[in-house]
Structure 1
Amino acid sequence: MVLELTRTYFPEGTNGKLECEGKKICNTIELPWKKNVRRVSCIPEGKYFIKKRYSGKFGWHLEILGVENRSLILFHPANNAQKELNGCIAPVTKLSGPGLGLMSRKAFKSLKDMVYKSLKRKESVELIVKS
């Protein structure tokens, strides 16, 4: 499975559209681009792999692997990038401003279910981030 995240950058945050084989899955919000600085920047554009991960804070979620100089970059629910993200990506149902979205839990559940089905079939899940 190949997921494509196409971004639009703003000073206050980064908005995106996440697609699989040309079909839109959801929108996304992230921190603004600040040269890949930990906790304040979105991750660099590029190609990554995704795996299942569990934590007490987020339960079962998705981890993005192979981000240069970064670790624990996740897909998890959030509606405000500046207040709720430290470099991770939040799926949202609807964008409401730069780095802002609505109904993140709903969008996250759809994405997680889709990715988990693919992983259960032993398929690799690739994420391509571009602008």
Structure 2
Amino acid sequence: MQVNRKRMLVLKRIYLNKAVHGRLYMGDELLAYTIELPWRQNARRVSCIPEGVYTLRKRYSEKFKWHLVLLEVPERSGILIHPANDAAKELQGCIAPVTSITAMGRGTGSRAAMRKVLEAYDSFRGKNPVIITVTKEVSDESKFTE
């Protein structure tokens, strides 16, 4: 499958003991930082999802308002990108965009970060699906993991 990189989001993760921190990019532009639950062998509701390439779909619910759904996650369903500022208290395997990471698995400004992610999604949505690639971060910057 040939992919147009302009139609793709890339999430680069750093795996920590009690959380996963990430950076979400559209091309070279940093859209948001992310927080997730730690890797626990893809166990439902307590683990982040496996690295991979996923199709995104926009959806609305009363709880999260506009958010994104990741499709065809191995052995999982209902994996979302939605606002949350505390991974341990507010996530069950989903991804939360934040404007900054403040502590292990915690951040601030999630609703503002979510708006920016949705604007990026809307900017390249069309006939072809929008995808997200979830991968491991190569570098390890201390500010990113605090």
Q: When the two structures are superposed, what TM-score results if normalisation uses the length of structure 2?
A: 0.85
Q: Does 1:64 align with 2:70?
A: yes
Q: What is aligned with 2:139?
A: none
1:118 offset after TM fit, Å? Answer: 2.0
What percent identity do the matched residue pairs reach?
47
User: What is the total number of aligned residue pairs between the two structures?
Assistant: 130
* SS of equivalent residue, structure 1 residue 29: strand
Question: Match of 2:90, as an amino acid?
Answer: E
Structure showing greater radius of gyration is 2
For 1:96, give the aligned amino acid. Answer: T
Q: Does structure 1 conserve the Cα–Cα contact (< 8 Å) formed by 2:25 and 2:31?
A: yes
Given residue 43 of structure 1, which amino acid in structure 2 is its aligned partner? I
Partner of 1:48: 54
Q: Indicate the RMSD between aligned Cα atoms, in angstroms.
A: 1.0
TM-score by length of 1: 0.95
Deviation at 1:53, TM superposition (A): 1.1
The 5 Å alignment of 1:81-92 reads: 81-92=87-98
Q: In 2, distance between residues paired with 1:32 and 1:98?
A: 10
Aligned match of 1:22: 28
Aligned equivalents of 2:132, 2:9: Cα separation in 1: 5
Structure 2: distance between partners of 1:60 and 1:3? 17
